Amino acid sequence: MDFRRQLSAELPVLRRFARALTGDPALADDLVQDCLERAMLKSHLYDASRPLRAWLFTMLRNLHISGIRRSGRATVVKTVDDLADGEGAVPPEQENRLAAGSVSDALNRLSPQHREVIVLVGLEEMSYRDVSEILGVPVGTIMSRLSRAREQMRQLLEDRGYTGLRRVK
């Protein structure tokens, strides 16, 4: 498969990771676009023996961090409290949508380091080694952050009255 097709296949996971990093759909789309542009320009540096997703996630994360440093802030552009009347979402009627909303809200309340690890390991199902390479920290640090992030998520969800999480060993 050629490089452009491989990039296209990674779009959904890039968007999901960018959304987790930024907390804002518009910023996430801009971040993904910047990442794809850079990937095309730097395609000659890609080592085909390594996973493309890990290379793209590293690039996306580095672009995000550079953007934060440039702008001097690491917060979400618009929070729920900032929504104008009528701009908020219609409350969901199904229980699974409530649970997804609670999990999403809890995820957004995590520190960026914990959110990154939860998304990469839990949602993207990446190995600790791959996440370690993407984030540039030892595997033990990944395991530690993941443990703290899971506990913090569990606590945030329990505080909101949601007890649907279960331990997986």
C-alpha–C-alpha distance, residues 81 and 23, integer Å: 14
- Whether residue 167 has pLDDT greater than 80: no
- pLDDT tens-digit map of 2-31: 888 999 999 999 999 999 888 889 999 999
- 53 token code pair: 């997703």
DSSP string for residues in 58-114: HHHHHHHHHHHHHHT--S-SS-GGGPPTTTSPPPP-SHHHHHHHHHHHHHHHS-HHH
The model carries a pTM of 0.60
pLDDT of residue 156: 86
Picking from 27, 48, 33, 50, the residue whose alpha carbon sits closest to that of residue 133 is 50
Q: What pLDDT score does 159 carry?
A: 80
Q: Which pLDDT belongs to residue 92?
A: 52
Write down all domains in the chain, each with its CATH number in brackets.
1-82 (1.10.1740), 93-162 (1.10.10.10)
Once rounded to an integer, what is the mean pLDDT over residues 102-115?
A: 84
How confident is residue 105, by pLDDT bands cut at 50, 70 and 90? confident
Place of tokens 């969800």: 157
Lowest mean pLDDT among 88-97, 120-129, 134-143, 153-162: 88-97
- The mean pLDDT value for 121-129 works out to 90
Higher pLDDT, 159 or 167: 159
pLDDT in tens, 30-86: 999 999 999 999 999 999 898 999 999 999 999 998 888 887 654 555 555 555 555
